[in-house]
Structures are given as C-alpha cells and as structure tokens.
Structure 1
C-alpha cells in the first residue's frame, strides 16, 4: 500500500461568503493552521480594504502582511512561500488550511503548477505602468486582448498587476501564463471545500461589509497609502482604493463611492465563481456542520 500524501484542506468561495469564519472554526475543530491565499492580504498596511483576518490565539496564520505595497509578489513566490508554510504546519502536527479567494494562488499550490519562467522586463513594465497612469487599466486590457483574446476571460482584469504580468509573459513567449502553465506531480492529499451562498444574501453581505469598511477607516487608510505610494502601483488597484481615491478627488459622493465598491466587489465575486465552477473536485457546502462531516470522513479515510 502506498503512503498517503500529507493532508491539505482548502477552503474556497466568493468574497463575503464566509470563508474566513469557516476556516477559523475548522482550525479549532481539526487543530489546524491557516495559510492565506489572498493576493491583496499579502500587502502590509492594506488592512481595511482587504478585510484581513486576524484569527484568535492560538490559531497560527501564514502569508498575511508579507511585502510592502511598492513590492511585487508573484504567483510563483506565493507557491514557494505557501509550500514552506504548509510544511512547517505539518512539522508541528497541524492540519494546514489553505483559504482565500485568489484562484491562481490556490491552484498554483494544489496542482503544483510549473509556471513559465519569464524574468521581469523592467523596460516593458515601466512603459505599461506609464500607460496605466495616463490611459487607465481598460487600455492595458485591450492590449492584452490583442495578444491573446482568451486571456481577458481567464484572469482578474481589474487587477493591474495581473494584466501587466500577462502582457509581459505573452510578449515574451507568445502565450499567456495560464496557457503556458503545466500541472506538476501533486504534493498533497487535498480536499477542496467551497461555500455556496444565495445571490441576494451574498450581495446584502457585501453591502454591509463595505459599509463596515468605511466605518472602520477605509478612507483614512487610503489617504495614508496615497501619501506613501502612487495610485499607479499595482497594489493600489485592489477594490476599494480606486473608488475612495475618486471620492477624495470629489468626483464621487460618499454614497456613490460605497455603491461603486459594492458593485465592483459583486462583479469580482462572479469572476471568482467562474473559476470555481470549472473545478468538479470542489465539494460545495452551505454551513459548518456539512463541512465538518466531509472533513471527518476525509481525515479518517
């Protein structure tokens, strides 16, 4: 009989579906450690807009507050860091729980993606960053669409950093990084749990969540970040900051700003679900009890 691979529990779902609460609950139930798979929560100082989770002691959490907003953080780097965090959790006898809404991060780890090794093209990046600042993200998306029409359907086109990287890779190898990736031999026995929430309930949660962000200091957080970093930085393109920047310039009222953040969050959640629905291995649950039953059976298998 072959030896079982190390266990890895993965929690996925759209923004505001309750992933974090479920992950904390399961960490308590199964003596786990959390490994965040969120491309925004890796940035220090970006706390309110990203709804960062700070789990109660003694639950350990990895890969939050990893780099500063003016530093780049690639999928490949996340894969390396996540594997290190997962290995350290196993060494402590804990169950690693990979949780987040960034599909690229999740699959790079679970499927052991062999990503194309295209080094940064600083000249191209400077040009694209200048284009982003002068002509806006839609201009870059059109450039990417010309290089590969399929690309715009496969990545988060609201994420300037991902669009710039996709253009960079496409320009170098005539393909974009999702098509160029290859699955490697898996390192884990992974169970993927997805949270399903009724659309109207999810939208209402998003509205309350965004309102809470404004009450918790999203405007002040944005001001502080803009005093240190230009709005053209890829990290500043995350939902919340561009909209609040418009509010600070006076082009949006506070209510219009809130509504815009809610709308963009909902649109992003739909793109997230486009990813997850393609994965037939995800077990969709509606609550904690249902998730526990599947996990107990998987652990005992």
Structure 2
C-alpha cells in the first residue's frame, strides 16, 4: 500500500514554510487541505502562498474555483484522491498540507460523503417519474450512468434505483465511484506542527497586522463589489470583520482586534480536532530543523 504523508497544524504554525523546504529536497508534490485557499481572489486573508513562495514546487487545490462556487469535504476528498493517484503513478511523493480538520479526517478515515447526501425534492421527483413511466425506465437511466451498480439490482427495485440516482444528482458521483472513494487505498502517515500557545498567539496577531498592511481591506472591497456580500466564503475570519467595517461602520481598530480574536478561537478549535488524530507532533521552533527532521522521517518510511 502506497504511503501518503500529511502535515497538519494550527494556523500560523509554519506548515507552508516547512513543507516547501521539504519539497526542495525530496520529489514531493503538495496537496493543499485548506478550505479557503481553494478560492481565487482570496489571497491575503487566507495567507495563500505566492508563486514566489512556492519556489517551483507543484501545489494542488489552490486557486481552483471562484468564491461563489461550492466546495466541501466531499469535493475535497474526491479531488484529493484523484491527485494522489496521479502523483503516485508518476513516482512522486504526495504531501497533504493544511489545517482544515474535516477535510483531513474524511480523507484519512475514508468517509463516504456521497452516501450521506440526501435531497427530498430530487427523491420525490424521481419517484414521480418511476410511477409515471415505470421503474424500468429509471433503471435504464441508471445503467447509462453506472452500469456496474445497475447490474447488481433488479429493474423493479425502486428504493435502490432512486437512491443511486439521487446520490448521482446531488454529488455528481455514481454509486460505484462513491464506493471506490471510501476504500482505504493508501497508508497515511501524519505529522503535526505545534508551537507554544503564547508564541502562536503572537504570530497570529503579527500576521493579521501584516494582512492589513498588505491591503486586505482592498481585497475585501474587490470581493464584495464582484460577488454577493453574503457569499459563504466571506463568512469566515478575516473577511467578515472587514465587511462589517466597510458596510456596517464597525471601527477599523475593533475589526482588526476581532480578526485576531476569531483567528485565535479558530486555532483552538483546530487543535481540538487534531488531538483526535494519530499524529507525530513536532515543536516547530525552527523551520529548517523541523524540515530536516521530517525529511529524515519520510525517507525512513519510504526507503527503510
């Protein structure tokens, strides 16, 4: 079973710097597990690495959709598995880097998100079609979408036919593909970066100040001019507070302090999730020392 490496950690613990340093010395390609860095135009507020900072290392799942498009743990799982397979097939090492715990947990544990998707309206519509045209008609449609699964069920098995079609319409995946996604195809080795809490909070505060200096306000102005102000992607720390400043007359100094507070609270929630994962934790006092240690550990996992 091929090994996939994961580098997780709270915001501001140095995941980006350490992962790029590792990838300079090993044939690594990085898959981002960050629920906000997938969005184009959301650069400053998400601390998205620039092309220069990436130093030529291939990065995936960054800047792939627009802010008003849907992205969730199910989509992440599907895309990440496709990328991992491609990276492994090219004899490269996949390194998943990020702090979105639900994405990581779903990938590691093989959650079958597709099977959890439900839509009563779609289900009722399919039932109406079956009653009008016969469930053999729906079975024929299922055969076109997912011939492997269709072969396993009767043309009159209305419950399974409707469920399979419902999953496909909601998720875009056939039952067969959804089942494949839940198979444990890789062995995941998890490393976590951590730093002492006071230092973490100091880094968070400095990062927020730097974001303001780097024109986060202009970035948010551009976004709410281009997209609906209630766009889901904007309802996260760093964006919602600046929107309150721009739209609801929240004083700027209060908005900045709120970003810092909300980011610290987010970091606390991240660690609550991460403690449930079987990670080897590394105290990230120095990026180079952490990177060299991880290079040694990855080599041991792969070659010895």
Q: Secondary structure at the match of 1:20?
A: helix
Shift of 1:191: 1.0
5 Å matches for 1:1-301?
A: 5-54=1-50, 55-115=53-113, 116-119=115-118, 184-249=182-247, 251-279=249-277, 281-286=278-283, 287-301=290-304
| 1:44 and 1:66 in contact (8 A); partners too | yes
Provide the C-alpha distance between the structure 2 equivalents of 1:231 and 1:121, rounded to a whole number of angstroms.
Answer: 29
Shift of 1:58: 2.8
Q: Secondary structure at the match of 2:65?
A: coil
The two structures have a TM-score, normalised by structure 1, of: 0.74
Shift of 1:296: 2.4
Provide the C-alpha distance between the structure 2 equivalents of 1:102 and 1:21, rounded to a whole number of angstroms.
Answer: 17
Instruction: Pick closer, same or farther for the CA change 1:223–1:26 going to 2, 3 Å.
Output: same
Shift of 1:16: 0.4
| 2:26 and 2:295 in contact (8 A); partners too | no
The two structures have a TM-score, normalised by structure 2, of: 0.73
Q: Secondary structure at the match of 1:29?
A: coil
Provide the C-alpha distance between the structure 2 equivalents of 1:122 and 1:289, rounded to a whole number of angstroms.
Answer: 54
Provide the C-alpha distance between the structure 2 equivalents of 1:275 and 1:192, rounded to a whole number of angstroms.
Answer: 14
Larger-Rg structure: 2
Shift of 1:120: 5.4
Shift of 1:7: 1.9
Deviations 1:33-69 (A, max 9, x none): 0100011111111111111123434310000111111
What RMSD in Å do the two structures reach over aligned CA positions?
Answer: 1.9
Provide the C-alpha distance between the structure 2 equivalents of 1:185 and 1:91, rounded to a whole number of angstroms.
Answer: 18
Query: Which residues of structure 1 form unaligned runs of 5+?
Result: 124-182
Provide the C-alpha distance between the structure 1 equivalents of 2:76 and 2:298, rounded to a whole number of angstroms.
Answer: 25
Provide the C-alpha distance between the structure 1 equivalents of 2:210 and 2:83, rounded to a whole number of angstroms.
Answer: 31
Provide the C-alpha distance between the structure 1 equivalents of 2:118 and 2:25, rounded to a whole number of angstroms.
Answer: 42
Shift of 1:96: 0.7
Shift of 1:10: 0.2
Provide the C-alpha distance between the structure 2 equivalents of 1:56 and 1:241, rounded to a whole number of angstroms.
Answer: 24
Provide the C-alpha distance between the structure 1 equivalents of 2:121 and 2:43, rounded to a whole number of angstroms.
Answer: 29
Q: Secondary structure at the match of 1:7?
A: strand
| 1:34 and 1:62 in contact (8 A); partners too | yes
| 2:23 and 2:57 in contact (8 A); partners too | yes
Q: Secondary structure at the match of 1:30?
A: coil
**Count of residues in correspondence between the two structures:** 237
Shift of 1:198: 0.3
Provide the C-alpha distance between the structure 2 equivalents of 1:261 and 1:44, rounded to a whole number of angstroms.
Answer: 21
| 2:20 and 2:55 in contact (8 A); partners too | no
Shift of 1:184: 4.0
